[in-house]
Every structure is written in structure tokens, then in C-alpha cells.
Amino acid sequence: MNHVSGRDEVPAGNVALVTGASRGVGRGIALGLLAAGFEVYGTGRSIDQADLPREIRRLRCDHLKDEETAHVYEVLRSEQGRLDLLVNCAWGGYEKMVEGGAFTWPAPFWEQPMHRWTGMIDAGVRAAFVCSAHAARLMTPQNGGLIVNISFWAAQRHLGNTIYGIAKAATDKMTSDMAVELKPFDVPVISLYPGLVRTEAVLAAAESGAFDLSTSESPEFIGRVISALFHDPNLMARTGQVLVAAAVAKEFGVLDTDGSSPPALTLGDIRDGL
């Protein structure tokens, strides 16, 4: 299977793994890929209780534990013998944003609780690295596949807190360097930036007026964009790049679940405190 040639002829049934698929963006990506014809495997600590259709293969996994991640790939090898798409979405950075009545998310780095480092760097960046290493062992022999790392504008300016910026900048650098090493095997690696996504947490915050949802994206929208990228016959030309999901959607004519075309945010549109 070659990643570039014949993409338009690839039938439905490509195997996708979405980490952090229990809720939020990860859940939406899993749903979007399922609707696009992928055989979807989803991981998460609470995946057994997630609101997902039975067609999605659930694999309970705490990606802080390497042995549990390894088991996920053992199942993939046993049941499929291949992996065509990995979406690294596992992330513990938004947990415990309020502690003891205090909103600690925007605190200066010297006042940040160290669990936030664990949630963003270990459960985020490190988990993506380990999952990508396992995926590469499946993708390089087949000379094809795609790895997508979900990232954000915090890689490029201060947003919220220092640890957040470190995590996203590390994700983008990881994407760039992995792309160099995987290029001879026709396996592209992409960093993908969502916009304001209507996750459970964002919808709850919007009720109090914290967010204007008029230009927001559904979680499934990101899955639709990833599917369009996967089927792009010229995707290798983008490997190592940072892409904005809504900009990719406009290029390929991808619409959101409500038929809308979300605007592609730029760095200037992003405000502090997110």
C-alpha cells in the first residue's frame, strides 16, 4: 500500500486509531472517521462508559502506562494486522482547572500545580510519542499511513499558561522531526489546529457566556477534515507541517455537521486566556 499513489481508489475500511476518544475532540474525531468509512479503534481511561456507537472498537487505556498502550497495538496487530491512521488526541491538560475554588489554569509557571505538567506533557506529548512509535512499526513495512497530532496556537504565542505552550510547541516540533524520519516510508505526519470546538466543556462554559459559539466547530468536523487529508493524493507534500483544520476544510469543500463552513482562525484571532 503506497500512501501517495492510488489514494482515490482506496476502499472504505481503512483502520484508524484515535487516542483520547472518550469525550471532547477525540470522541468527535472518532465519530467523524466512522461516518467516513474507517474502521475506528478508540482509546481512553473511561472509554467503556463513553457515548459511542457499537461500531467503534473500544480499548480502555491509560496512556500514562506504557504497557497499556502496548496492549492496544497488540490488539491492532491481532485483529487487523495493519494501521492506516493514528490521531493523537489523548490529553489530560484540561482536568482540575479549578482547585480549592481557585481557577489555577492561568497562574504563572511558578504557581502552577505539577499535575498540569503530567496531564499535558506526560499524558499528552509523551503519550503521542509512544503511540507514534508503535504506529510507525506498523506503517513503515506497509509504506503508507498517516499520523495526525492535535495541537493548537499555544505553540506560537502565550495562551493560558507556560506549560500549555511547552506542550503544544513540543507537539509541533515532534511532528516536524518525525516527518523527516518517516518520509522515506511515505508516512506523512501533520499537526492539526482545531478552532473553538463545541466539546462538552465548551458548551457548559458557553451557558455562562464564556464563549461565543457563532464561529465554533462541532467535534465531528475535525474527523471530516482528517478524512479529507487522508484521501489527498498529494498529502506527502504537507508532511511535517502545521495545518489549520478550517483552512483545510475550505480547500477540500468539507462542511460541518450543520452544513456551515467554520472560519479559519489565524494567530491574530486567538486571545489570551484560552
Q: Which residues are catalytic?
A: 164
Total residues belonging to the chain: 274
Q: What is the largest distance, in Å, between two alpha-carbon atoms of the chain?
A: 56
> CA gyration radius for the chain?
18
Residue position matching grid coordinates 494486522: 81
- What is the secondary structure of 56-85 as a DSSP string? SEEEE--TTSHHHHHHHHHHHHHHTS--SE
Residue type for position 6: G
Please check whether residue 185 is in contact with residue 228, taking contact to mean a CB–CB distance below 8 angstroms. Answer: no
Tell me the C-alpha distance between 191 and 91, whole Å. 15
Cα separation, 160 vs 273, whole angstroms: 4
CA separation for the pair 227, 248 (Å, rounded): 11
Asked whether 132 and 63 are in contact (CB, 8 A), the reply is no
C-alpha cell at 12: 472504505
215 DSSP 8-state letter? G
Cα dihedral 150, 220, 216, 229 sign: positive
Q: Whole-angstrom Cα distance, residue 29 to residue 232?
A: 18
